[in-house]
Amino acid sequence: MTDVEVPGRRRHDGPTLGDEARWEIVHRLLHDDTLEVGDRVAGCLVLLYGQQLSRIVAITRNQVTHHDGAVHLHLGTTYVEILEPLATLFAQLARSRRPNNSVVSTVPSPWLFPGLDPGRPLTASYLGQRLRHLGIATMPARRSALIHLARHLPASVLADLLGITPNTAVRWVGVAGGDWNTYAAQLIWEQ
């Protein structure tokens, strides 16, 4: 008897947002001042950079830097320049401090998304609830962002930029229909 491999569901399988719906949500997050800045930044990290909620809540304030008038975020192995108006939201979030409601004096939180427990980040499940309350289904939103990025970037750049494994990046490029097999040759030819 031969073993039969049953294909399992992978994270890149499933529903996605249409580009128009995705950009409408991004526009709302960037410009609706009635929303909490942390929710706006977290939503943009999902919708623009395809970040997982568990990675978003683990971002520290030290990963957000200001250099030569630009805001940078350390994601994978590199710093990503955050463009306006999202850069202003990042800077505002990095500067903000959650009020200390405890009787005991605590050290300021290193987390960009601090949790209710002192010294702990927000939980991914709670952030997911907050984003769902804003109408953001995180998995379809993340898939859409990764497919969009994979259409425009080679797998190696995608992996370095977002902090995902090279194999995962190759799969996303495949899902997006990207063909970067000739990328190195194109770079050499253009020089």
> What pLDDT digit, counting tens, does each position of 68-106 carry?
889 999 987 889 999 999 999 999 998 886 554 555 545
User: pTM of the prediction?
Assistant: 0.82
Question: What contacts 32, CB < 8 A, 6 or more positions away?
Answer: 40
Q: Which two tokens stand for residue 168?
A: 């995962």
Q: What is the pLDDT of residue 118?
A: 80
Residue 166 lies in a domain: no
H or E element, residue 62: none
Domain that holds residue 115: 19-152
Q: CATH number of the domain at 61, please.
A: 1.10.443.10
Residue 175 lies in a domain: no
Residue 45 lies in a domain: yes
Q: Which two tokens stand for residue 129?
A: 């609830």
Q: Minimum mean pLDDT among 11-15, 73-77, 110-114, 123-127: which range?
A: 11-15
Residue 160 lies in a domain: no
Contact 33, 85 (CB under 8 A): no
Residue 63 has pLDDT above 70, yes or no: yes
H or E element, residue 91: helix 86-95
- Cα distance between residue 146 and residue 177, in whole Å: 12
Q: What is the pLDDT of residue 93?
A: 93
Total domains in the fold of the chain? 1
User: What average pLDDT does range 127-140 have in this prediction?
Assistant: 96
Torsion of CA 136, 56, 107, 36, to 10 degrees: -20
